[in-house]
Structure 1
């Protein structure tokens, strides 16, 4: 299927773009996905991918996106080997039940954590079992699912959104940080995140929280390939190179949470740039000639978490 025979062109090959393309293709639309980078080299590929809202607004809209996405991920977790999605228990520290939204009514086993379930120095938190996603496996799954629905994936950088608009009646802009120049939208900015992957000494549960005396959020996410340790959130930083001092600090903080991590062999350093914005932009605007452009970007650190809910809304806007 060439670009000229598409009903919709989705621009952006990260989790937001792929999910949106899948929803559109499975609804019967002829969909082409254009991506500047290989799917496995997008920002999404290095995401920690724990299902929990992080650095995303507006709260009023995020709740429904979360509820719809949670149901989708729980379905995908029934075939974890193929999808990379598992439902894993863990602790979200420094978080109160009454401060969470209605979406949590769907979360398995959500309750206040008992003191013995919290690491030293943490006095409060909640326990829950939520989706945890192995992103390299999951992105390959989404790409295959899109193709099975008749969609195409094309490595094709876009200089301006008029290019896809010239070959399809509807365009969905899922370019993340690229929207800063492509739209252009200078409110989109990077929040640099660095993580360290180490061999797993036997950790089966995740942990997220800010430790006493630490400025950054600390998290441990057990993945099939090792334990992903994080992290950092540096506003406005475009540097994709790993920083050894930051990596050492991450490992030290995570070892405070789980002492068994001491001496764990480092497998990989990863750096990604979260596409932050004061609020998600999810809206349709008319194109010259009667076409439609839908923006779906600015998801910050929660792109994976809200991907399905946002994709369904973007698909409605593109075809309604």
Structure 2
């Protein structure tokens, strides 16, 4: 393989293009929009395998990505920060298999949690330090890194993979277009959107994140970045609505401020909605039915950043060196 076309320029597509270029391939990206305009730009981008089954390949990819992000966090210009925080757990059967990818974590019982976080619920938690990517810094940085490796990009809406194969004539093609991927691959009828709405508040000086996935009022997370705090969220399965809902935003703010009282009264800086590409399992592998190698890499749910480098490495291994 020498010429590879990647369809999609979100965090998954850019990471794949990066690893293929490092392996010596000539890489071209085709995408209708840049990473910041995609669902990648909406993400809180905290390392956590949310919205995907915790299978062995998923946890392996998550661990590879964690290690890469730890390295990148040593360079402030990348926009990757290592941040301490707490995963709240309200159910005894909460899946904690993800912790095997995190070398240093601590199980917390109800007595070790601040009383205001889980009043009367008896919830437990996991304290750990994981990467947070500042999307407005990390995605442009990754884009620039990819270009520096010689990757070319063209803005276009891909509608037919066979057309791309005929016109671009690559040796291999990778479909990493998030929600668009299933429409491009006729053999997939199980991918569906999960609508996520977030609101970004001014940061009053917070550094620690907290997630409360089983909050009875709805999915709740607070992820501080350098200058703002991403507050979420929603997990509306099957919704294609990409418009901000003011009532949903108010509910998010009530939950976030109950979780982190210091957020009360902070001004809203921005708001956004993104459609997470979900399916029963992340799809990483070869696709049959084409006259040359075609590979899929999508269906990451809310774990695109978390699996990005690991799944990019899996695709690069499948294609092999140049």
* Common fold: TM-score over 0.5: yes
- 1:307 alignment partner, SS class: helix
Partner of 2:268: 266
Partner of 1:90: 85
Shift of residue 109 of structure 1? 3.5
Partner of 2:144: 144
| Alignment partners' CA distance in 2, 1:94 and 1:82 | 34
Unmatched tracts of structure 1, length 5 or more: none
Shift of residue 6 of structure 1? 6.3
| Alignment partners' CA distance in 2, 1:105 and 1:58 | 11
1:206 is aligned, of 203, 209, 212, to 209
1:317 counterpart = 2:318 = yes
Partner of 1:240: 242
1:209-288, aligned counterparts within 5 Å?
A: 209-210=212-213, 213-214=216-217, 216-286=218-288, 288=290
Shift of residue 319 of structure 1? 3.1
CA distance 1:108–1:88, shift in 2 (3 Å): farther
Checking the alignment, whether the CA contact within 8 Å between 2:63 and 2:102 is kept in structure 1 is no
CA distance 1:97–1:153, shift in 2 (3 Å): farther
2:200 is aligned, of 197, 213, 216, to 197
| Alignment partners' CA distance in 2, 1:33 and 1:309 | 19
Q: 247-256 or 117-126, which moves further after superposition?
A: 117-126
TM-score, scaled to structure 1: 0.92
Q: 116-125 or 222-231, which moves further after superposition?
A: 116-125
Partner of 1:62: 58
Aligned length: 312
- 2:179 alignment partner, SS class: helix
| Alignment partners' CA distance in 1, 2:183 and 2:95 | 36
- Cα deviation 1:104-146 (Å, max 9, x = unaligned): 3452530013534342425210100000111121111111111
Checking the alignment, whether the CA contact within 8 Å between 2:113 and 2:124 is kept in structure 1 is no
Partner of 2:298: 297
CA distance 1:234–1:97, shift in 2 (3 Å): closer
Unmatched tracts of structure 2, length 5 or more: none
| Alignment partners' CA distance in 2, 1:163 and 1:6 | 19
| Alignment partners' CA distance in 1, 2:54 and 2:73 | 28
Partner of 1:7: 3
Checking the alignment, whether the CA contact within 8 Å between 2:62 and 2:101 is kept in structure 1 is no
TM-score, scaled to structure 2: 0.91
1:125 counterpart = 2:112 = no
